[in-house]
């Protein structure tokens, strides 16, 4: 096995290990410093984009929802987990999606859901994107044309599956 393939395998194992080690708040638990005005996707998008800042972490650590709220910052998976948590609170089922890019040894996490109209939307870091695409591969490709694989997990860690190009 080539060194590059070993690195890709190690990266995939690391992502899956992190997914299974993250413990979100139970949905019955109360969070501190959360506005009661978050009732829609747009309310959430406004809150995240105005109140939070994107901050890379080295080494990467996945923050709890409360830690992200307290610090008002996070990297892609922290903000995807935050968005997923609040979308579920307002009745929108989501998936946490980890993207692996072709010829790059980095990934990106987004929070994805399928709307009532059958099209995919997602939060990517601080931005809300409505794709108008009913096919997930096309929806992802619209904003991330160089994706190589998609690793799915819900925040409750119940399912993981991989989609490859």
How many Å apart are CA 72 and CA 118, to the nearest integer? 32
Please indicate, yes or no, if residue 74 is contained in any of the structural domains: yes
How many Å apart are CA 44 and CA 38, to the nearest integer? 6
Q: What is the mean pLDDT of residues 37-59?
A: 92
- The helix/strand/coil state of 161 is strand
How many Å apart are CA 69 and CA 78, to the nearest integer? 10
CATH number, domain at 7?
3.10.620
Tens-place pLDDT, residues 127-150: 999 999 999 999 999 999 999 999
Contact predicate 72/52, CB 8 Å: yes
Tens-place pLDDT, residues 21-42: 344 444 445 677 777 889 999 9
Whether the model pTM is above 0.85: no
User: What is the residue range of 78's domain?
Assistant: 3-25+35-164
How many Å apart are CA 154 and CA 146, to the nearest integer? 23
Total structural domains in the chain?
A: 1
Q: What percent of the chain has pLDDT over 90?
A: 59
Please indicate, yes or no, if residue 30 is contained in any of the structural domains: no
Please indicate, yes or no, if residue 80 is contained in any of the structural domains: yes
């Amino acid at each position: 096995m080539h060194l590059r393939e070993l690195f890709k395998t190690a990266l995939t194992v690391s992502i899956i290990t992190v997914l299974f080690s993250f413990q979100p708040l139970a949905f019955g638990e109360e969070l501190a410093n959360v506005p009661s005005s978050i009732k829609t996707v747009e309310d959430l998008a406004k809150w995240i984009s105005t109140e939070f800042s994107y901050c890379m972490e080295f080494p990467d650590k996945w923050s709890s929802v409360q830690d992200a709220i307290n610090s008002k910052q996070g990297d892609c998976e922290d903000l995807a987990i935050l968005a997923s948590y609040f979308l579920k609170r307002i009745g929108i089922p989501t998936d946490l999606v980890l993207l692996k890019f072709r010829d790059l040894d980095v990934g990106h996490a987004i929070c994805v859901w399928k709307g009532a109209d059958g099209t995919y939307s997602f939060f990517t870091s601080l931005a809300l994107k409505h794709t108008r695409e009913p096919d997930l591969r096309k929806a992802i490709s619209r904003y991330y044309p160089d994706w190589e694989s998609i690793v799915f997990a819900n925040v409750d860690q119940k399912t993981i599956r991989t989609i490859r190009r």
